[in-house]
């Protein structure tokens, strides 16, 4: 895998490599996805991370945020968000 790091940009990390079937499609045959959202909560934004972190200068209600985030934890059916309804899951 060290070979990959020589050619990939710094913002891509390969954790595991495995052989798959010839017809595998990276977009349509996935098993799961993970999302990470970051908030920079201070008076001034960071110009170097502005594309990757949401800047909010106001005070945040952490307890309400935790309560809201609890609805996102777990497995959910997002098939209604697909661009093509006929695509297989």
Confidence class of residue 44 from pLDDT cuts 50, 70 and 90?
Answer: very high
Q: For tokens 């098939």, what's the residue?
A: 79
Confidence class of residue 66 from pLDDT cuts 50, 70 and 90?
Answer: very high
Q: Mean pLDDT, the chain, as a whole number?
A: 85
Q: Which residue has the higher pLDDT, 13 or 42?
A: 42
Residue 52 to residue 54: CA distance in whole angstroms: 7
Question: Stretch 5-16: mean pLDDT, rounded?
Answer: 84
Angstrom CA distances, 52 to 46, 61, 65, stand at: 10, 22, 20
* DSSP 8-state class, residue 44: S
Query: Does residue 88 carry a pLDDT above 60?
Result: no
Confidence class of residue 40 from pLDDT cuts 50, 70 and 90?
Answer: very high
H helices of the chain, in order, are: 2-7, 62-69
């Amino acid at each position: 895998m060290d070979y990959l790091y020589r050619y990939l940009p710094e913002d891509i990390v390969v954790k595991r490599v495995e052989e798959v079937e010839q017809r595998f499609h990276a977009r349509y045959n996935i098993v799961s996805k993970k999302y990470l959202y970051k908030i920079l909560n201070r008076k001034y934004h960071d110009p170097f991370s502005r594309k990757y972190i949401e800047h909010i200068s106001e005070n945040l209600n952490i307890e309400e945020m935790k309560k809201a985030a609890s609805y996102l934890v777990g497995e959910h059916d997002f098939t209604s968000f697909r661009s093509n309804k006929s695509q297989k899951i």
